[in-house]
Amino acid sequence: MIQHKGKRLCITGMPTAGKSTLARRLIDTLRGTAIHLDDFREELRTDERYAKWAKFYLDQDLETYYTTTTPEDEWKNLVAQSEAIWPAFLEYMDSFAEETGLVVFDCVNLLPHLVTADTEFPCIVLIGTSYEETLERNKKDPRWGSTEKELELNTKSFFYVERPRYLEEAKKYNCPVFETSDQAYPTALELLQ
């Protein structure tokens, strides 16, 4: 495990829950760098070691995927993707080891069991507040899909499949969990003091 010189924080949780919002707010307050690992995951699509899982969802027909995949298998796929690309994420995160300032990493794939096993970074989990709010945020900034039906299927998976499982994993690995970035902000500040 590589020791980092500065303060670090990982923010994970379901899409649309406010991970990037919290990261930006912390950086604005405490000064430092926010690293949105979703952007880095896109780079892995051209790396043969990681391409299969980095492109996993893009290689699926969204409607078919959500109407034929059980909730348990949806979560298993997200975990499999996270674990498959974790070595690349960890290497990239460790490239900031010499940075003496604050670095905040955010991404849906920073599952607590990975972060707590391989880093000494605190991890905060955001799970959103309601299906309706999740749908509205997903419509404003679609994660996967573009039609009304696709966005609804996508959002149902975020809220009803991923949300309870992120909560369960957060509790299991002693990571603070919040519905909103505003709720998480004071705890994040405490963790970084």
pTM of the complete model: 0.95
- Cβ 129 vs Cβ 35: under 8 Å: no
Phi then psi for 105, rounded to 5 degrees? -105, 135
To the question of domain 8-188 being in CATH 3.40.50.300, the answer is yes
Q: Give the Cα separation of 170 and 152 in Å (integer).
A: 26
The band of 118, judged by pLDDT with boundaries at 50, 70 and 90, is very high
Strand ranges in the chain using DSSP code E only, listed in sequence order: 8-13, 32-36, 102-106, 123-126, 177-178
C-beta contacts of 153-157 below 8 A and 24+ residues apart: 153/62, 153/63, 153/66, 153/67, 154/62, 154/66, 155/16, 155/131, 156/66, 156/131, 157/66, 157/71, 157/74
- Cβ 10 vs Cβ 119: under 8 Å: yes
Domain spans of the chain, in order of start: 8-188
> Over the chain, what is the mean pLDDT?
95
Q: Could you tell me which of 167, 183, 163 has the C-alpha nearest to residue 175?
A: 167
Q: Give the Cα separation of 38 and 42 in Å (integer).
A: 7
CA 45 to chain centre: 17
The band of 189, judged by pLDDT with boundaries at 50, 70 and 90, is very high
Q: Give the Cα separation of 77 and 69 in Å (integer).
A: 10
Tell me what the mean pLDDT of segment 157-178 comes to.
97
What are 32-54's pLDDT values in tens digits? Answer: 999 999 999 999 999 999 999 99
What are 67-99's pLDDT values in tens digits? Answer: 999 999 999 999 999 999 999 999 999 999 999
- Tokens 């690995």 map to which residue? 173
**Cβ-based neighbours of 154, under 8 Å, separated by 6 or more:** 62, 66, 138, 142, 143, 144, 145
